[in-house]
Amino acid sequence: MSLLSVRDLHVIYHTQAGPVPAVRGVDLDIAKGEVLGLAGESGCGKTTVINAILRLLPEKTKVEGTVLLNGEDVLAMKPGKLRAVRWTQASVIFQGAMHALNPVRRIGDQIVEAITIHGQAGEKEALVRAGALIEQVGLPPWRLRDYPHELSGGQRQRVMIAMSLACSPNLVIADEPTTALDVMVQAQVLKLLKDLQRELGLAMLFITHDLSVLVEVSDRLAIMYAGKVVEDGPSVPVFTEPAHPYTRALAGAFPQIGDRTFRMAPSGLPGDPPYPGDVPPGCSFHPRCPLAFEDCPKIDPDLFPAGDQRRAACLLVNRPEMARVEP
Amino acid sequence: MRPGLERVGTSAAVGEEPTAPPPPTDPRRIAWARRRRAFSRVAKTYRKNKMGMWGLCLLIFFVLVAIFAPLIASKAGLDPTCTCTGKAYQSPSLQFPFGTDDLGRSVFTLTVWGSRISLIVGLIATLISMVIGSLLGIAAGYYGGWLEAVLMRITDWFLVLPWLALAIVLAALLGPSLIVIIFVIGITSWPSTARIVRAQVLSVKTRSYVERARGLGATNWHLISRHVLPNVGPLILANTVLTVAGAILSETTLSFLGLGDPLSISWGTILEFAFGGGAAVAGDWWWLLPPGICIILVVLAFMMCGFALDDILNPKLRER
Amino acid sequence: MSDVAAQAAQVRTDGKQPVLEVRDLHVSFAGRIGLVAGLAGKKASMARAVDGVNLELHAGEVLALAGESGCGKTTIARTILGLEKPRAGEIRFEGKPLGRNLRQYRRRVQMVFQDPSAALNPRQTIYESVAEGLRVHGISRSEDGLSEEQMVARALSRAGLRPPELFYLNYPHELSGGQRQRVVIAGALVLDPEVIVADEPVSSLDASVRGEILRLLLGLRNEFGIAMLVVTHDLGLAWTIADRVAVMYLGRIVEIGPAEQVLTNPLHPYTKALLKVVPEAGGIDRPFLTGEPPDPTRIPPGCRFHPRCPEVVSGRAASAGVEPKCTGEGLGLVELRPGHFAACHLASLEARGLSQSADAGA
């Protein structure tokens, strides 16, 4: 059974200019111990999906669909139950998490707070557990007495990871956890996340725009564009042999060093990712798609089966004869 | 990426026909078009701000009263020897809607005419304070180094200067007058403006676009006038409006204490005479209330406008 | 020092003078000291951000300056643009050292910064942002008789924003990230520069948009012969557009050479480590360097990379006999292959060993 099961999620923000549909029907499944990578660029709705899962969206936002966490619908939970669920069953490592630490409190206090707030343990026990957590993420226990500014970016990120594990959740949602880090530190943090995931049997929802990073850490990938999932499947096949033109373009933006086809030949898409309030009709990707044909502006494709446990929302999946040879 | 704003050519194919009329190509007209658009945008946002609109209405009301004072109440009524005066200490009646003072003058006339001095003194003092404060704040923030250190110490010195004691001393030396009041208010209220301006300049100075302009070879003057000032200006404007409120209150205080020109009528001096004439003891509420309420209303009006402007123009508040 | 200069002279590829030269550049930043500590005689720690760098940029060349944060690459870029003052060393443009008056120089060397939304004044329209360069230099008419507006239109078109008039009255926040970066590039193009210094030109843009901006930059080089110095932490970017790559570590260049060689056949252990760390499909157990990026206020003696060098840590350096040199003897860039320089004792030894064995075998 899936640990997390999202069905037909729609999120509509309420703004001064009217309703903005940020998520337009998303299905996701994560099994226990599995890592799902969610990739997409700005405006695709991936951060909104996470906020919807834990109900962290602003008040007036309309959320429809079901989010089943351990079989219970999060969207229908009462506030008390929701608070109990947050952090103990599913925790989040937010974007820019390094700046989410309170600068005037010691690291140890903040981790302890995460534990005691959820009634998981008393103060003394919590401190012991905080020590264990901080060692698990590769920092020495005496770091608990430090203030955030005394740590480097990578070290702060490790503290955020420790905090997310404080209440032993089954699911950890990581929103761009390594974006602001150097390549070397990024590798260290990714390895840490992967090791912890294997050790603790965690399920993870890993969100980033960097497809090459995702392929390394996730078992399965889902690519989002303009509020919908446009492709999903096992990560390596999706990355190396994309079925959707957008995935192909996204993968092409991360060149393989040593591959001569990338030399002096930057590949990208014209135009920009669409603004959520202004999505093109039919297939939302068609204005930028190098393989668009006359049906694309008219029909918004569903996710069609595209191989072994793979799906892609592209008309070409069923009509490969319409694909022109790319110039 | 904020909602509700027009997006230019996002997912549309390159080369689609624009639907707006062709924009001007003359650089000066482009600059004017920009200013007009910016102004209308601020005005539209301001109109939505209820507090700001109430403040603005009140303000306009008082400004009109001050301008059209001669039409509302005859100036002769200020002269105690005028035949239009009535009996002293009269409570409000049809003939004298706010009653009379100790010299039989209509308190209504006094209040109406008093608006002029109160507003003018407040505005001039604020102008002085704003000019000094802005110049010093920009100089200190932009140039930094020893200039900033020196200017900030001067600012600190003026910040702790006891304005009341200064006013009393100056009035004793030079004789009580409006100039003394304007001077004292002007030189003691600029420090807070200077500090706010300096903080904003420091923040603007490090922005990438200022560096880009410097990298293009811009002179300091170009950077200050084209980049720093437009980004600091709105803050100065909001701060100025709030300072006027303070200046009017200060003027009232100083006049009330007898440090103003005894021959000029302002709300503060009316209160001074009322107090001196025993209005509080005798219960002559009509003498005290009108000027008092006017002061409160005008100060409130300026503050409401100032807060509304601050909400709209202050970049820190805008990021909400 | 003269040794290094002689080697720098050898880099000139076709005998023509490089358009931009950095000679023995040293840039330091002083740390902050509290008032009391300063009075007590404590000295501020100096961060040697750039500690002896020689670089040459030839006309029409794309040189990538790569490294992690704190290596000094951004400082070099800013010093070239005149935004930082060097402690020692000089910058030469077309053979002549920069004087005190940088105005003419700044017309011909332009910059493109990382974050396009910060690089544009939010209160200025696109037209004014692009025209700024012209106004700063008081140019109201170009040499071929174009008016200011025509020059702005031409720059916007060249940067890919067509039709340009559509964008005149817009504000930066009304455009997307990619369009904003094009505006910044247009602002750089309007003065017809010979060199563009780009600091992370695409890292803050969406992945699918990056390719177009990179294609634009390459197109500018191909069509107008503009030389580019691209500062980046992304070796993939260097692979895509650079002719030559210089890898920096802790204020010095540790390897420089043709991009294909440096990135497929690296000589320096740091470059090798950086390349191994680039994510690829399927592999998570890549080796990476331990520890944090180093502190520019505390530079190790000898080769500044030795505390983290995998060759030292694994003992290979010791068994090759160079370890005492690594910890004690500093070194400059040595040409180990034609046009390919590295600053590594072990690599030098191995290269000499190879050439010796090649000679022996011949």
Mean of pLDDT values over B274-287: 83
End-to-end CA, chain C: 35
On the question of pLDDT at C37 being above 80, the answer is no
Burial status of residue B206 (CB atoms within 10 A of its CB: 0-12, 13-18, 19 or more): exposed
Q: Tokens for B186?
A: 């002007």
Give the type of residue at B75.
K
Confidence band of B164 (pLDDT split at 50, 70, 90): confident
**Interface contact A16-B11, CB threshold 8 A:** no
Q: How far is CA C123 from CA B37, C129, C173, in A?
A: 11, 9, 10
Chain B interface, Cβ < 8 Å to C: 1-2, 5-10, 14-15, 18, 22-27, 30-31, 33-34, 37-38, 207-209, 211-219, 222, 226-227, 230-231
Give the type of residue at B313.
L
On the question of pLDDT at C48 being above 70, the answer is yes
Nearest to B270 by CA among B51, B98, B43: B98
Q: Exposure pattern of C291-308 as b/e (b: 16+ CB <10 Å)?
A: ebbbebeeebebbbbbbb
On the question of pLDDT at C360 being above 70, the answer is no
Provide, for chain C, the percentages of residues in helix, strand and coil under a 3-state DSSP scheme, each rounded to the nearest 5: 40, 20, 40
Return the pLDDT at B274: 87
On the question of pLDDT at C286 being above 80, the answer is no
Select from B1, B7, B27 the Cβ nearest to the Cβ of C131: B27
Is C132 at the interface with chain B, CB within 8 A? yes
Q: State the best of C139, C169, C209 to mutate against chain B, taking most chain B CBs within 10 Å.
A: C169
Secondary structure string (H, E, C) spanning A99-152: HCCCCCCCHHHHHHHHHHHCCCCCHHHHHHHHHHHHHHCCCCHHHHHCCHHHCC
On the question of pLDDT at C1 being above 70, the answer is no
| ipTM of this predicted structure | 0.84
Query: What does DSSP say about strands C244-249 and C252-258: parallel, antiparallel, or unpaired?
Result: antiparallel
pLDDT in tens, C51-96: 889 999 999 999 999 998 888 899 999 999 888 888 999 899 988 8
d(CA B241, CA C226) in angstroms, rounded, equals 51
Q: Please give the residue that has the higher pLDDT: either A262 or B150.
A: B150
Return the pLDDT at C203: 86
Return the pLDDT at C14: 53
- The ranges of chain A with pLDDT < 70 are 1, 97-98, 324-327
Least confident of A153-167, C281-295, C307-321: C281-295
On the question of pLDDT at B291 being above 60, the answer is yes
Q: What is the mean pLDDT of chain C?
A: 84
Which residues are A10's β-sheet partners? A24, A64
Is C348 at the interface with chain B, CB within 8 A? no
Burial status of residue B72 (CB atoms within 10 A of its CB: 0-12, 13-18, 19 or more): middle
Confidence band of B198 (pLDDT split at 50, 70, 90): very high
d(CA A113, CA A102) in angstroms, rounded, equals 12
Return the pLDDT at B79: 78
Chain C interface, Cβ < 8 Å to A: 68-69, 176-179, 206-215, 218, 233, 235-236, 239-241, 259-260, 263-264, 273-275, 277-286, 288-290, 292-293
Q: Tokens for A324?
A: 């022109």
Q: How far is CA C156 from CA A227, C116, C129, in A?
A: 32, 15, 11
Mean of pLDDT values over B14-43: 67
d(CA C23, CA C131) in angstroms, rounded, equals 33
CA-CA-CA-CA dihedral for C204, C210, C213, C214, to nearest 10: 110
With contact defined as beta carbons under 8 Å apart, do B270 and B291 qualify? yes
On the question of pLDDT at B20 being above 60, the answer is no
Mean of pLDDT values over C137-154: 85
Nearest chain A residue (CA) to C264 = A258
- The A35-39 sheet, strands edge to edge: A90-93, A171-175, A203-208, A35-39, A220-225, A228-234, A311-312, A304-305
